[in-house]
A = this chain, B = another copy of it.
Amino acid sequence: MPAAPDSISQIVSPDEIAEEDIVERIFEAVVEQRLPPGTKLSESALCLAFGVGRMRIRRSLLLLSSREVVELHANRGAYVASPTAKQAREVFEARLALEPTIARLAVERAGAEDIANLAAHIKMEHSAHHDDRRLEAIRLSGQFHILLAQIASNAVMLRMMKELVTRTSLIIGIFGGSSVANCRDDDHERIVCAFEARDGQAAADLMTEHLRVIESSLELGKKNRSAVDLVSMFARE
C-alpha cells in the first residue's frame, strides 16, 4: 500500500529508463561516432550500461534494427550497422527528396524564436569547429538538420530525419574520406540566412546543394570495409 499516492502522475517510474530513451541514447552515440559501424552491442554489456533488465535491452535493439541503425544477426547478436554503398546512395536519395521540402516548410512556419535558435545553433557550430571539439561539432552538425525538421512541425518527417541523420553518420564513418568532416557549417549558415530573408525556395535550393556536396565528397564505389577490404588490402598489385 503506497504511503502517499498523492501525485504519482509521473509518466514513468523515476528509477527506470524507458526503451525509447535507450534508443535515443544509442542514436546519439552513433551520430557522434562514438559507436563506429560494426561495433558489437552485447546484451549483458548494455544491461550494465543502462542498468535495466535484458528484456528492455532486447526490445531496444529490435527497435534500433527496425530503423536500420543496428543489424541483428540470429544467434550472433546485435552490431552497429555498416551501410553498403548502395544503402548510402539510397539514404542520400531519400534525404534529397525530404529535406528541401522540410527546409521550405520550416521557413514558412518558423517564428522569431525559431530563427533565434537557429542563429544560436550556428554560433555553437562555429565555436565547436574553431576549438577543435570534433565530437561536439559532429553532433551539432547533425542536430542542425533535426532542428529544421522540428521547426517544420511534422512528426512523421522528424522521425524519418532522425533515422536518416543517424545513418548518415555511419555512412560518413565508412565512406567519408579522411579529410571529410561532416557538413561544412558555412552551408548551414547560408541556410539560416535564407530563413532570415524568409525565402523558402532559397532554403530548399541551398539544402539540395548542401546534400549534393556531402554525397559527392564521399568515396562510394570503393571499399566495403571488413571482408572485401582484406582482399584488396593484401592484393599484390
Query: Chain A residues in contact with chain B, CB under 8 A?
Result: 59, 62-63, 66-67, 87, 90-91, 93-94, 96-98, 101-102, 105, 154-157, 160, 164
Contact A156 B91 (CB under 8 A): yes
Total identical chains: 2
**Nearest 8 pairs of A and B residues by beta carbon:** A97-B101, A94-B156, A90-B156, A90-B154, A94-B157, A66-B66, A97-B98, A63-B66
Question: Which residues of B are found within 8 Å of A59, using beta-carbon distances?
Answer: 59, 62
Which residue of chain B is the closest to A155 with respect to CB atoms?
B90
Question: Which residues of B are found within 8 Å of A91, using beta-carbon distances?
Answer: 156
CB contact between A157 and one of B62, B66, B93 (< 8 Å): that residue: B93
CB contact between A160 and one of B102, B154, B160 (< 8 Å): that residue: B160
Which residue of chain B is the closest to A94 with respect to CB atoms?
B156
What would 24 A/B residue contacts be, using CB atoms closer than 8 Å?
Answer: A59-B59, A59-B62, A62-B62, A62-B63, A63-B63, A63-B66, A66-B67, A87-B155, A87-B156, A90-B155, A90-B156, A90-B157, A91-B156, A93-B105, A93-B156, A94-B98, A94-B156, A94-B160, A96-B101, A97-B97, A97-B98, A97-B101, A97-B157, A156-B164
